Amino acid sequence: MPRYLVERTFPDGLLVPPGPPGRKLLGSIIACNSDRNVTWILSYVAVDAAKTFCIYEAPSPEAIRRAAASNNLPVDRITEISVLDPYAYHVS
Amino acid sequence: MKPRASLIERDEHLQALGDAISESSDAGCVVLVSGEAGFGKTSLLDTALEILDHRFRVLITACEPIGIPVAFAPLYDLLDELPDDVRRDLRSGAGRPAVNAGMLDLVKNDRLVIVFEDMHWGDEATMGLIRYLGRRISATNSVLIVTYRSEEVDLTHPLRLVIADLGRSAKRIELPPLTPAGVTQLAEGIDIDPVQVHAATLGNPFFVEELLRHPDSDLPPTIGNAVLAGAAQLPEPGMEMLQLVALSPDGVTLDFLISQAPGAGECLDLAIQRRLLVAERGHVRCRHDIIRESLIHALTPVRSRRLHRTLLAHLESEAGVAADIAKLAFHSIGAGEDEKAARYSLQAARQSARVGAHRQAAFHYSHALEFRGSISPDTLREALLEAATEHCLINDFQAASDLARLRLEWTANSVEAARARAWLAYFQSRENDLIACRREACLAIEVLRHEPASEELALALSVTAWVDLVEGDWAAAMANGDEAATLAHAVAATGVEVHAATTAGTARTMVGDPTGLAQLEHAVALGIAEQVGEFAARALNNVGLISLRRGRLDEARDCFDRLIEYALTNELDAWYIAGIATRAWINVAAGRWNDADRDLEAALGQRTCVQTEVESLVAAAMLRVRRGDPGSADLINDALERIEGSTDQELLIIGCALAMEGAWVGIVPVAEAADRYSALMGSATLLQDHSGRAMLAFWARRLDLEPAEGRIVGPAGFEWSGDVAGAVSSWEASGYRLHAAITRACLPNGRLEAVLSELTGMGAEGTLRGLRRELQRRGVRHIPRGENASTRENPAGLTRRQAEVLSLMAAGCSNVAIADALFITPKTASHHVSAVLSKLNASSRLQAVATATANGWTRPGQVIPN
């Protein structure tokens, strides 16, 4: 499955409440994603919470956009990516 | 008492279902409950419905496995509950629109909960009903609950279309497997290793329950064995009774079973006690389809045949309602009675066709034709044409052509053969096989010209006109189309008349003859009035295409909305998907990308003709290119490859435009796009095709290629003649947002910044890239950079950390919880809290939170969950 970097902007900042409400929110996002065969691997969040950089596995960019639409999440840009391990070329 | 396996770990789902039902007092809705076989969909419903109060009337029905597809089959189970008119319409085979409208009245006038179980086996008439009700249910106070097996509904399953069509208006409840903890809870007190049970069953509640019922059976077990072990413990003739029940998916009467053998009654009691069967109102059926499938799986061919014969004889002895013919066909096939199988299948097919359940009809025709040795040649010829028509209606054009070809083989003389050829040509035209269909039509015309006027001659002429149209020979299309229409009118073949008039009218419009539109409108009106479904849909489609070619996006979208609705009501899948695909294209052009995406999700991957497939592919590629999504180049290649070798002008033009747009954003080599463009420019047809030239002229301008010869009409024409402002307002008036924005960027005083931010707002990353490239090429300096998320200032002067703390306070966290969430010590947390209080000039946490909430400051903070 291809991997994608998804950039999102949250003009008012992203708020994930702590505790059970947060778990429920993320849980519903994960469930909605899985409807479309989309897997959220992890996200990096800008310190001002206005931008997120999320790593996803998905069958197509459309699948990511559809999942985002169902989850009410914005999408700025989707880039297909691969992993470069800085130590992959390290000779031991 | 131990909880039922099917209700373990289902609290959340029960809650969701209950919420959906109670919210129906504001607005009704559709709830889709999905999960694998055995995941407890029925138990969930039973539990949720048990606690409903008397304000609701509950109707429950189920679909049966495809062995006996019957139009509106689930409604037959509800006959006693339905209003008189619906009952009458069902019995008389009045067709879908009448039944749909009757059912809508029913849900409007009452607070109903209607449950359709196992819709993965649903017939298309019922699917159409659900789609029809689903689109209107929010205006009622009723709830429609649909359950289906998730593993059965793949991308090509017809239920997918329904689900996609309901979109977000439907609430979805997906049941997951049990967790190991859930299995452990169930296995309490039983001497069995729950971990092993979980591994063997993958958490399937039904399997778990069966295994726990027979803890001694070996692990890993097969579930079939667990079921059969239970069945084998019954005294004679227990197994045979069970299998009789299993072979009749919607069950058999208790009386019938008891009359089969001495001792049957006791066996049935035991089987019901052991939860293999359930009895309701004198009817017996398997408790679960997994049980049914296991029992059928264990049937030997000889016994299966014998039991089918018993059931067939039983059914034949009963006076039945309409639905029974399909069952008779099913058991005749199982019983190996060829003559009956052919006769009943044919009857069932015709009945389905009459109510517009084309998928079912095609299915039954295929069965009937398997036994064609038992059908007389005359009937066979008729049946083959009917079968081909039904396949055509469900988008299986290849099968339709094959059946028409088979019919050709069964003709007795040259005139009959020519008539068969005319129909073959028509089905080939639906398959978009231009060469084959022109050849067959010519062969038919040669013979039929010397015979008295006939529908088939008109049809062959009309098909020829269609090929002319598609290949861009408009004069020929007009001449042949007019002749065919006159002829068809004379022999009262309305369908063919509509087909021919549509073709001639379209061709006239292409060359700018104003009478063309009137001819088209006439075809639409005639087609709808005379209910020649397919042909009327095509006329509607062409009216929409003409609006599109004149650059009127809104008008065109209205036309296609109308086509989609018409195709839906008349169960014309092919035209439904074609309409959706074109609407997707229109939505992409108009910048309504989420709408486009929804349409594409429904259209892509469906079985359809080349035109529709290419259209969806092109729309999907355009969408990807404009959004700047990865994989755009691949999609463009897919679309272009599919067009390769086609002589269809329309497809060649949209393909060329796509390649040019791809070149403009820099993902297709400019030379490749230029080659396609100049090849098309050299063709004679483009000289006459104003709209095609105009479409390409826009991108030619962007790529600095020569414009086409001849006048360029529309907005692109303004731009080429130097009136850029005129071009902008003309694009805007036509509804092409993206084209308007791009052109506006080329205005000398162009407010570049505004254009760029409009494109950013549309999410047109790819288009932005293209525009920047073009502007750079044109030597524009200081192209504003795209918007970047700015770092926001906190109005209260809080530091980032303090803002985070404030959010946590607002969420009701104690100092310890804040410390946990932020990976700091409680002491540090309390320092932060004090600092927040003083900056907000608050005397308590509560006051601080109130101030912050009132000013909207709590939102900026964020917490990454631990």
**ipTM, two decimals:** 0.76
Of A21, A48, A61, the CB nearest to B630: A61
Q: What is the pLDDT of residue B395?
A: 80
List chain A residues with CB under 8 Å of B628: 77-78
* Residue B418 phi, psi (nearest 5): -65, -40
Is residue B597 predicted with pLDDT exceeding 80? yes
Query: In the predicted model, what is the mean pLDDT of residues B182-202?
Result: 80
Residue range A62-78, pLDDT digits in tens: 999 989 988 889 999 99
Confidence of residue B683 (pLDDT cuts 50, 70, 90): confident
Q: What is the pLDDT of residue B170?
A: 86
DSSP lists the bridge partners of residue B117 as: B62
d(CA B585, CA B596): 7
List chain A residues with CB under 8 Å of B630: 2, 4, 61, 78-80
List chain B residues with CB under 8 Å of A29: none
Q: What is the pLDDT of residue B2?
A: 53
Of A2, A16, A78, the CB nearest to B865: A16
CB B695 within 8 A of CB B681: no
| A62/B821 touch (CB, cutoff 8 Å), yes or no | no
Q: Edge to edge, what strands does the sheet with A39-45 contain? A: A39-45, A51-57, A3-9, A77-81
List chain B residues with CB under 8 Å of A12: 859-860
Is residue B411 predicted with pLDDT exceeding 90? no
Query: In the predicted model, what is the mean pLDDT of residues B600-608?
Result: 80
Compute how many other C-beta atoms are within 10 angstroms of the C-beta atom of residue A50.
21
| Minimal C-alpha gap between A86 and chain B (Å) | 24
Cβ of A27 under 8 Å from any chain B Cβ?
no
CA-derived radius of gyration, chain B:
33
| Nearest by Cα to B143 from B110, B98, B100, B99 | B110
Of the listed ranges B32-46, B213-227, B410-424, the least confidently predicted one is B213-227
Cβ of A65 under 8 Å from any chain B Cβ?
yes
Cβ of A70 under 8 Å from any chain B Cβ?
yes
Q: What is the pLDDT of residue B785?
A: 67
Is residue B1 predicted with pLDDT exceeding 70? no
Using CA coordinates, name the residue in chain B closest to A10.
Answer: B789
| Nearest by Cα to B651 from B682, B680, B681, B673 | B680
Is residue B319 predicted with pLDDT exceeding 70? no
B540-561 burial, b if ≥16 CB within 10 A, otherwise e?
bbbbbbbbbbbbbbebbbebbe
Chain B residues whose C-beta sits inside 8 Å of any chain A C-beta: 168, 172, 174, 594, 597, 600-601, 620, 623-624, 627-631, 763, 765, 789-792, 800, 807-808, 811, 813, 817, 821, 858-866
| A15/B859 touch (CB, cutoff 8 Å), yes or no | yes
Q: What is the pLDDT of residue B310?
A: 92
| B863/A15 touch (CB, cutoff 8 Å), yes or no | yes
The larger pLDDT score, comparing residue B97 to residue A43, is at A43
| Minimal C-alpha gap between B311 and chain A (Å) | 42
H/E element, A8: strand A3-9
| Minimal C-alpha gap between B839 and chain A (Å) | 19
| Polymer length of chain A | 92
Of B601, B631, B860, the CB nearest to A61: B631
Q: What is the pLDDT of residue B550?
A: 81
Confidence of residue B358 (pLDDT cuts 50, 70, 90): confident
| B865/A76 touch (CB, cutoff 8 Å), yes or no | no
| B629/A26 touch (CB, cutoff 8 Å), yes or no | no
Q: What is the pLDDT of residue B862?
A: 43
d(CA B55, CA B466): 57
List chain A residues with CB under 8 Å of B763: 75-76
Asked if the bond preceding B237 is cis, omega within 30° of 0, the reply is yes
List chain A residues with CB under 8 Å of B858: 15
* Residue B133 phi, psi (nearest 5): -70, -40
Q: What is the pLDDT of residue A52?
A: 95
Cβ of A56 under 8 Å from any chain B Cβ?
no
Q: What is the pLDDT of residue A92?
A: 53
List chain A residues with CB under 8 Å of B616: none
The larger pLDDT score, comparing residue B865 to residue B809, is at B809
Best B767, B859, B862, B866 residue to mutate vs chain A (most A CBs within 10 Å): B862
| Nearest by Cα to B796 from B845, B860, B846 | B860
CB B282 within 8 A of CB B255: yes
| Nearest by Cα to B463 from B486, B497, B429 | B429
DSSP lists the bridge partners of residue A52 as: A8, A45
DSSP lists the bridge partners of residue B143 as: B29, B113
The larger pLDDT score, comparing residue B780 to residue B487, is at B487
Compute how many other C-beta atoms are within 10 angstroms of the C-beta atom of residue B335.
20
| A65/B627 touch (CB, cutoff 8 Å), yes or no | yes
Is residue B864 predicted with pLDDT exceeding 50? no
Using CA coordinates, name the residue in chain B closest to A70.
Answer: B168
Q: What is the pLDDT of residue B382?
A: 92
Residue range B53-89, pLDDT digits in tens: 777 888 988 887 755 667 888 888 888 888 888 888 8
| Nearest by Cα to B115 from B74, B162, B71, B154 | B74
Where is mean pLDDT largest: B153-157, B274-278, B345-349? B345-349
| B862/A14 touch (CB, cutoff 8 Å), yes or no | yes
Query: In the predicted model, what is the mean pLDDT of residues B348-359?
Result: 85
Q: To the nearest whole percent, how much of chain B has pLDDT over 70? A: 93
Where is mean pLDDT largest: A76-85, B50-59, B63-72, B288-297? A76-85
DSSP lists the bridge partners of residue B146 as: B32, B116
Pairing mode, strands B283-286 and B143-149: unpaired
The larger pLDDT score, comparing residue B418 to residue B281, is at B418
Confidence of residue B863 (pLDDT cuts 50, 70, 90): very low
Q: What is the pLDDT of residue B220?
A: 43
Q: Is B776 exposed, middle or buried (0-12, 13-18, 19+ CB in 10 A)?
A: exposed
Using CA coordinates, name the residue in chain B closest to A21.
Answer: B811
Q: Which two tokens stand for residue B506?
A: 């379209």
Query: In the predicted model, what is the mean pLDDT of residues B455-482?
Result: 94
Q: What is the pLDDT of residue A91?
A: 58
Best A65, A66, A75, A82 residue to mutate vs chain B (most B CBs within 10 Å): A65
| Nearest by Cα to B499 from B422, B565, B418, B610 | B422
Average pLDDT of chain B, as a whole number: 85
Q: What is the pLDDT of residue B792?
A: 45
